[in-house]
Amino acid sequence: MDFYDLYERLYYIKYGTYVPYEANEGAEYEIPEQDFEEVIQSYFQIEREQIAANTAYEPHERAYRYRPRGFKDAELPFGPYPEVISYEEQEDGTIRLFIEAVWERKMTDHAVTSELVVRPLEDGSFQYVSNQVTGWDNTLEILWYTPRLTDEEWQYYYADIQNG
């Protein structure tokens, strides 16, 4: 899981607007720890230490380094999107969603199938519990996700921008 990809998507769900950091090529920001963690922890039961260990956390600044995706690590458009096909309410109050990833470009309605479990919260929101991939169309070339640039790759492409 990439916490930065999650942050961008969950920020939109939580606040109804995109992250307040311009996606300029080679831009780098510091997000105050409380702001970043609040977005992630609104939907995941996860300790701040685990978030910090899997991101670029700057303890002296009490902030997370954030680099919006740029041209060099942009995700491809028209990838699969999830569609809930059914659900079951569980005895513990959670809801198990049965999901098929529809990929119009490849003309399939089940590129990936999975079971997602969420916990409804009193304010109408939800919290992630688990996700299990249950099926995969092996005939498809899976290339809809592009990892973010490593620090080395980012320096290679954007060092000149940062150094003026």
Give me the domain span that covers residue 99. Answer: 81-136
Amino acid 110 reads: H
Q: Is residue 141 part of a domain?
A: no
In a domain? residue 60: yes
Answer yes or no: do 63 and 95 share one domain: no
Q: Does 52 fall in a domain?
A: yes
pTM recorded for the entire structure: 0.80
Contact by Cβ (8 Å): 114, 134: yes
For residues 57 and 114, membership in a common domain is answered with no
Same domain? 65 vs 11: yes
The answer to the question of residue 132 being in a domain is yes
> Does residue 124 sit within a domain?
yes
Q: Tell me, yes or no, whether 68 and 85 share the same domain.
A: no
**pLDDT tens by residue, 33-83:** 999 999 999 999 899 999 999 999 999 999 999 999 988 888 877 888 899
pLDDT tens string 43-54:
998 999 999 999
Specify the number of domains making up the chain.
2
Q: What is the pLDDT of residues 2-32, one digit of tens each?
A: 999 999 999 999 999 999 999 888 999 999 9
Q: Which residues contact 37 (CB under 8 A, 6 or more apart)?
A: 48, 51
- Residue 95's nearest CA partner among 136, 135, 129 is 129
